[in-house]
Structure 1
Amino acid sequence: MRKKNHSFAHSIAWNLAGAGIPLAFAFLAIPSLLAGYGNERFGLLTIIWALIGYFSIFDFGIGRALTKLVSDRLGSKSTEDIHDVTKTALLTMGVLGLVACALLIVAAPLLVQILKLDTTLRDESVLSLRILALGLPFVILSAGLIGLLEARAEFHAINRVRLVMGMLNFGAPLLMLTWSHSLVPATIALAVARAATTAFYFRISAHTGALDVSSGRFNRSNLRELLGFGSWITLSNLISPLMAQLDKVVIGSVVALHLLPFYAVPGDLVNRLSFIPIALIGVFFPAFAARWSAREPNKLKSLYTSAAFLMFSAVYPIALGIYALAPEGLSLWINEEFSRQSTPLLHWLCIGLILNSIARIPHALLQASGRPSITAKLHLIELPVYAVALWQLLNHFGIIGAAIAWSGRMALDYLLLSACSSIAIPELRRPSVFMLTAVIIGIAVMAAAAFIPSPLLRLVLSISLGLVGITLAAPIVLRLRHND
């Protein structure tokens, strides 16, 4: 088994590349896909992409649980049953993948009927969804293999495959357009790509020593441990998408559907930026779990502080730049009328972006310390509060009320998670208070920056603060190593 000690900087760079480069490619590919497949087929293609992501909940959180349990054992040097845990997780995920496959094959006609597609496309759509279903076991198995590799900090290996898969997600349907405008060849290509991706992850796992097919056995006690952790993750994963889409549904029903783009476009812009905090958390989660299992509270505190500072340094300058330059940016991108309507919304959403990004640190720490039930219960509390606030604010303030409600939920989530993590781990109280102070000051600076009359000065301010953040964060992240 190879032993590596990659720096966090190395891992974060690979995570950002693995998510960011395919995102940039998507922006280039989408116009050609839309022109080639037409509105209805492209609409179904976007649903196919969404289903690939949504059906990943059929791993029942075992992928994340595998990262947690393997990190625990590596951190505490108790690796006797590590191959049992691995084999139990992957066999279970394989079965769950087959169940997801069967469900989608059976449900495909019903889904097509709900979508109310043109009758000439129904047979093609049903067949495309059933071909997609054949790829679901590979999607779920990949999640387990990624979790296994994340526990061993093999982020460079994960993201080499993830980068290729991300490009194929858009490139394969684009390539199939040279043969046919039907979605059937496109979904065949996507299913084959998923199978190939799983094969690559399997080979890397075996090569790095993370997976040994000749060792380990299925163990019911390990399964209970995996499901005990993973079931709470699944609950969170079910509630989060519901809260993420609730605002758009309510806007369409309470205000007016024609106003939805004024909210949806800036909302989508902010949502796409979440790949940055997700990339950072992917690196820190297994490190949190390892420090926790090794009973090293001082190292855990130091790592938590470094993670929060790095997250703030990475996200804040981007949020500040978007907030400060929103009027000019939206005018250039779309038009002045759109800018006038959407700028106030984008301002509130930028505040929410900062709060949501920082909240991911205590969220990851609570899960890494074996408390996923806390994060799931907090989501259960937040859902009705958010729904009521969204309804009331929309009725009183129109679509800007939706942005206020969303950012309010992010603030509530951040405060609750910070409080819970500080109670669970008292050593985190001081860095949590310090981070909260920094966030409040940062938001105040953002609000003040919008009143600077010159766009050039606002741009200079954003770049300057970004450079300051990089200068302060770089030495910290370069010193951090996974096994220190």
Structure 2
Amino acid sequence: MRNKNNSFAHSIGWNLAGAGIPLAFAFFAVPSLLAGYGNERFGLLTIIWALIGYFSIFDFGIGRALTKLVSDRLGRKNTEDLHDVTKTALFTMGFLGVVACVLLTATAPLLASALKLDDSLRTESIVSLRILAIGIPFVILSAGLIGLLEARADFHAINKIRLLMGMLNFGAPLLMLTWTHSLVPATVALACARAVTTAMYFRISTRNGALDVSSGHFNRRNLKELLGFGSWITLSNLISPLMAQLDKVVIGSVVALHLLPFYAIPGDLVNRLSFVPIALVGVFFPAFAAHWSAGEPEKLASLYKDAAIVMFAVVYPIALGIYALAPEGLSIWINEQFSHQSTPLLHWLCAGLIINSAARIPHALLQAAGRPSITAKLHLIELPIYAVALWQLLLHFGIIGAAIAWTGRMALDYLLLSACSALAIPGSRRSSAIMIIAVAAGIALMVAIALLPSLWMKFALSLSIGLTGIALAAPIVFRLRHND
């Protein structure tokens, strides 16, 4: 009998649980955190969470590069310098983590001043940011160890720890509220949680043979290879958050700040749902890299087709359900006036979610084929186009223009990525063309279902299509195995 832990279904299930369960926990924890810490301290806590994520770019893309290079070597069964690559990557990431720690420690007073907090919170904010700085090296090292484990398809181990860290991210500050309303103990708890989970990743990596502390040496040639791949990832990671936040900034300056919640709330909902396509593509990426390095174009093209089908079959029903039931759902969740304003925006954003999810497959394929420069250059091209389109659409259509601009950028990104992947990997052309047609047809169907007069009919059709999606995706993910 084949080990179920080696199946894509098992890996995808753990990826979804590792991201989805903490998100559900956050839904219930955030109101208590807001009530306990108050608006200003909770605002500072959200900035601390954001900084933890943002400073992870200091890994210079080496975590993703490590997944790629280890997958390459395992795919070619050429593992002579595997421990050299690993040691070089982790040593470099540790050094970069220390640099990031020193930088945040030094700039903490400036950041605290920029936040315009009350004077009574200034010292507390500086101390909290400096404590956070101590945890940054662990965040960056964790990214490297996760990359190492992903290359070996050990998603079960990764997500057991990721789930724990996700729960602690909200649970630790909540627990500290039983003693004090100060953020300092909460930040200490978050930093300690990062250190503990990094130690857990390290222990698993050494136990399963992914990391051998007694073997391997720092190698400049390997460092050049890691940075050559990772630097393009870093460029993409710098541009993507800028494009992700640009719409909110421009809405506040071009339209009116009081209208921002009508866009930000549905936008945040759609953004949080991105954990689903991220969980899916995280499993396929190392497999893409292994097949590419092993010189198996037919298997790579077949896996690309399977990945595209699974992505569409899983994400489309979610987007369809939200699109079709948006007016009623927003009325129940917020109120009828909010629903009237935000439903058209949510409709555009749901279409963008489908397109963006589909685009993650050619994006991963290009990176797995050692072409991260293409994805980074596309982001550079898209940024000015998106900025101009956003500005003009906001001026002419108001806040719905921001949703149109965002979805338009997703469509441009998807078409460019599909074209580039088809040129780089000819075997993917047919699948890419079919998926573009499927996405367009799916969006048209989504619009048609939303126009139905009966709520129950919309619900029944959405549910039926969702069950069809599960029936389509399940045989594929249960059939696929790592290292096949």
Q: Do they fold alike, i.e. is TM over 0.5? A: yes
The alpha-carbon deviation at position 5 of structure 1 amounts to: 6.4
| Aligned equivalent of 2:163 | 163
**Alignment-mate amino acid for residue 172 of structure 2:** A
Superposed CA offset, 1:84-130 (max 9, x none): 00000000000000000000000000000000000000000000000
CA distance in 2, matches of 1:150, 1:233: 17
CA distance in 2, matches of 1:118, 1:368: 48
| Aligned equivalent of 2:49 | 49
Gaps of 5+ in 1: none
| Aligned equivalent of 2:475 | 475
CA distance in 2, matches of 1:242, 1:195: 29
Q: Is the 8 A contact 1:5 1:483 kept in 2?
A: no
Q: Is the 8 A contact 1:74 1:290 kept in 2?
A: yes
| Aligned equivalent of 1:429 | 429
DSSP-derived class of the 2:83 partner: helix
| Aligned equivalent of 2:367 | 367
| Aligned equivalent of 2:337 | 337
Q: Is the 8 A contact 1:366 1:421 kept in 2?
A: yes
**Alignment-mate amino acid for residue 418 of structure 2:** S
CA distance in 2, matches of 1:318, 1:92: 40
CA distance in 1, matches of 2:405, 2:205: 43
| Aligned equivalent of 2:311 | 311
Counterparts of residues 330-479 of structure 1 (less than 5 Å):
330-479=330-479
| Aligned equivalent of 2:275 | 275
Query: What TM-score do you get using the length of structure 2 for normalisation?
Result: 0.99
Q: Is the 8 A contact 1:5 1:482 kept in 2?
A: no
Q: Is the 8 A contact 1:87 1:218 kept in 2?
A: yes
Query: CA, structure 1 residues 27+145, in 2 after alignment: closer, same or farther (shift >3 Å)?
Result: same
Counterparts of residues 169-180 of structure 1 (less than 5 Å):
169-180=169-180
Counterparts of residues 103-182 of structure 1 (less than 5 Å):
103-182=103-182
- Across the aligned residues of Structure 1 and Structure 2, the Cα RMSD in angstroms comes to 0.8
The alpha-carbon deviation at position 4 of structure 1 amounts to: 9.1
DSSP-derived class of the 1:481 partner: coil
CA distance in 1, matches of 2:173, 2:5: 38
Superposed CA offset, 1:245-280 (max 9, x none): 000000000000000000000000000000000000
**Alignment-mate amino acid for residue 450 of structure 1:** A
**Alignment-mate amino acid for residue 64 of structure 1:** R
Q: Is the 8 A contact 1:289 1:368 kept in 2?
A: yes
CA distance in 2, matches of 1:408, 1:53: 27
DSSP-derived class of the 1:74 partner: helix
| Aligned equivalent of 1:211 | 211
CA distance in 1, matches of 2:9, 2:297: 23
Query: CA, structure 1 residues 4+336, in 2 after alignment: closer, same or farther (shift >3 Å)?
Result: closer
The alpha-carbon deviation at position 472 of structure 1 amounts to: 1.4
The alpha-carbon deviation at position 450 of structure 1 amounts to: 1.2
Superposed CA offset, 1:374-427 (max 9, x none): 000000000000000000000000000000000000000000000000000111
Q: Is the 8 A contact 1:309 1:473 kept in 2?
A: yes
Counterparts of residues 184-263 of structure 1 (less than 5 Å):
184-263=184-263
Q: Is the 8 A contact 2:4 2:10 kept in 1?
A: no
CA distance in 2, matches of 1:382, 1:276: 24
- Is 1:82 the counterpart of 2:98? The answer is no
| Aligned equivalent of 1:265 | 265
DSSP-derived class of the 1:79 partner: coil
CA distance in 1, matches of 2:177, 2:399: 39
The alpha-carbon deviation at position 473 of structure 1 amounts to: 1.3
CA distance in 1, matches of 2:447, 2:33: 39
| Aligned equivalent of 2:39 | 39
CA distance in 2, matches of 1:460, 1:199: 48
**Alignment-mate amino acid for residue 37 of structure 2:** Y
CA distance in 2, matches of 1:296, 1:210: 24
Query: CA, structure 1 residues 192+5, in 2 after alignment: closer, same or farther (shift >3 Å)?
Result: closer
The alpha-carbon deviation at position 179 of structure 1 amounts to: 0.9
| Aligned equivalent of 2:302 | 302
Identity of aligned residues (%): 81
Q: Is the 8 A contact 1:60 1:234 kept in 2?
A: yes
Gaps of 5+ in 2: none
CA distance in 1, matches of 2:32, 2:336: 27
CA distance in 2, matches of 1:135, 1:4: 35
CA distance in 1, matches of 2:335, 2:179: 38
Which region of structure 1 is more displaced relative to structure 2, 469-478 or 215-224?
Answer: 469-478
DSSP-derived class of the 2:204 partner: helix
Superposed CA offset, 1:55-110 (max 9, x none): 00000000000000000000000100000000000000000000000000000000
